[in-house]
Amino acid sequence: MQVNVKDKKENKSLSRQEIICEISFDKAKPSRKDLREAICTATGISPELMVIVSSKGGFGERSGIVLVHAYSNKEALAVEKRHLLVRDGMMEKKKKAAKTVAKKK
C-alpha cells in the first residue's frame, strides 16, 4: 500500500494536525487497522494519538482518500467524537441496559 500525504493543517485550538492522505492499494480496500499502520509509518505519528475520521474510495478503484486527526497528547484526544474512537479501538463501546417489561395484571 502506498501512502501520499496531500495536505497537512495545524489546528492549534484543538492541539491537533488534520492530515489528508491519498492511498493506493493492489487488492481490496484495506481495513482501518491496516490504514492506521501504513499512515503511522509514513508520517511518524504515534498510533495511540491518531484517529481515522473518514476513508473514501470509489467502487472498483484502487485508490482512496483518508482524513486523519493526529493529536499532540492523550488529553487533547478527548475532543474527538466517541464513535470514531470506538471504531479505531481506542475506547470501549457502551453496553445498553436491558429493558424490563412490566407485566399487566
pLDDT in tens, 72-88: 888 877 777 777 777 77
Closest CA to 53 of 40, 70, 38, 37: 70
Helices vs strands, H then E, count in the chain: 2, 4
Q: Residue 43 and residue 51: Cα distance in Å, rounded? A: 13
Segment 80-104 mean pLDDT: 72
The model's pTM: 0.76
Other beta carbons within 10 angstroms of residue 51's beta carbon come to: 20
Give the per-residue pLDDT at 67. Answer: 92
Segment 77-104 mean pLDDT: 73
Closest CA to 51 of 12, 25, 16, 92: 16
Beta-carbon contacts of 6 under 8 Å, excluding residues fewer than 6 positions away, are 20, 21, 22, 65
Report the range of poorest mean pLDDT among 21-25, 49-53, 64-68, 84-88: 84-88
Specify the CATH superfamily of domain 2-87: RRM (RNA recognition motif) domain (3.30.70.330)
Give the per-residue pLDDT at 98. Answer: 66
**Domain extent listing, the chain:** 2-87
Report whether pLDDT(62) > 80. yes
